Amino acid sequence: MIYSGVTIVLGLTFPHLEYRYLAGYNHGLTVPVAIALFSSIAQGVLAMTAIVFSLAFVMVQFSSAAYSPRLVLWLSRDPVIWHAMGIFTATFLYSLVALIWVDRYGSGRVPFFSGWLVIVLTIASVMVIGLLVQRLALLQVAGIMRFIGQKGRQIIGEIYPLLAPAQAESEIENLSKPDTPNLPVTQTVVYEGEPMAIAAYDVQGLVNLARQTDGLIVMPLAVGDVIVEGEVLLNVYGGRLMLPQSALRRAVEVDRQRNFEQDPKYALRLLVDIAIKALSPAVNDPTTAVQALNQIEDLLRRLGVRHLAVGWVRDETHVLRLIFPTPTWHDFLSLAFDEIRLYGTSSLQVMRRLRTALYDLARAVPPERQKALRHYLEHLDLTVKDSIKDAEDQTTALQQDRQGLGLSRQ
């Protein structure tokens, strides 16, 4: 709409000014040639827009069926797609405007600068088609997983600070604290509306509100949870005054589905979805699951060296002002590995790559987090022995191999 509005305003003013003040410029185009040129560009761009975007959205739908339906929204929201549609629309509209000013009032003149602007917009449209085709290469499985991995790495870097060695033990102690403080509830906000996913918390805004009432705000739901009508959105403990309900509600962002904004679990969820769909009997593509494990291991390596208990937020005076649930190291491991292990039990490739990921993670994370990885390794051994009966296949499945089936190592 912005592209269209700017084009219409420009088309109503620029040719008029051009006729009045820049009449001396002439590129030699005759009226019939200019009419044929501008009308061909307008018709061609309109047809091209229909074809390009029909194919683009068909590919998006196909990819969602092949990988995960939760990817449709993110792929269709790609800025390149919408800028391309804007440039195509601007080219079409300004071509029509240029046609209007050809032989205006029987003058036999062709607008000089408007004509060149149409040519420039046409060249820009062709370049954007190339960019759009390149962008659609993202819909290949490797591009999809790289896109999800990049989003996950970005969110992890923004939310979780690096974990100093002295913090590892204290973090575990913080997680054992009670969920609610020993203060009276002075205010409760109840959600009203259709089921929505909690997309993000305005952490600084909630801390400021809690400081205003000299109390503590507790969020019972985590980012990524779906909240329904009548559920408690938040509680205020020990407040000295009532906070505006509208301000409290604005501090919680909800959306129709989960997103990456403050939810690194969502990146893991999408990668696991791709992996288990590839492991379904209808697809039977364990190599894709191995590729997903490459990205999953990278995200877990980054999480393993970061402070995960970020749900206890203090103000500048170190007074606790906000509590919201956050996933633990065990939660991340369960999300990342449980379903892949369950659905990939019959795949030697997946079992070997999963074992390698666990061993490599155990070498990369602090000692306090290695116990959970050893437990997963023991569970993986039991899974292999229960699901694979052939002794030789068991031996193969119990080896480490970063490629799945490529190069075994001790």
Closest CA to 132 of 84, 194, 204, 188: 84
Contact 65, 268 (CB under 8 A): no
Q: Is it the case that residue 179 has pLDDT exceeding 60?
A: no
Q: What values do phi and psi take at 309, rounded to 5? A: -85, 70
Q: Is residue 226 part of a domain?
A: no
Higher pLDDT, 336 or 103: 336
Tens of pLDDT along 226-272?
999 999 999 999 999 999 999 999 999 998 888 888 889 999 999 99
The whole-angstrom separation of Cα 203 and Cα 180 is 18
Number of domains into which the chain is organized: 2
Higher pLDDT, 221 or 21: 221
Contact 198, 225 (CB under 8 A): yes
Strands (E), 204-324: 216-218, 226-227, 232-237, 252-255, 312-314, 320-323
Q: How confident is the model at residue 73 (pLDDT cuts 50, 70, 90)?
A: low
Domain range for 269: 263-305+327-397
Give pTM, 2 decimals.
0.77
Closest CA to 248 of 259, 261, 231, 235: 235
- Residue at which a domain ends, from 76, 106, 139: 139
Tens of pLDDT along 22-65?
666 666 677 788 888 888 888 888 888 888 878 777 777 776 66
The pLDDT of residue 75 is 66
Q: Is residue 195 part of a domain?
A: no
69-83, 124-138, 303-317: which range is least confident on average?
69-83
Question: Residue 190: enclosing H or E segment and its boundaries?
Answer: strand 185-190
Q: Is residue 9 part of a domain?
A: yes
- Residue at which a domain ends, from 82, 117, 139: 139
Tens of pLDDT along 365-387?
998 899 999 999 998 989 888 88
Q: Is residue 98 part of a domain?
A: yes
The pLDDT of residue 214 is 92
Q: Is residue 130 part of a domain?
A: yes
- Residue at which a domain ends, from 91, 116, 139: 139
The whole-angstrom separation of Cα 199 and Cα 74 is 14
Q: Is residue 338 part of a domain?
A: yes
The 10 Å CB-count burial string (b at 16+, else e) for 132-160 is beebbebbebeebbebbbebbbebbeebb
Q: Is residue 99 part of a domain?
A: yes
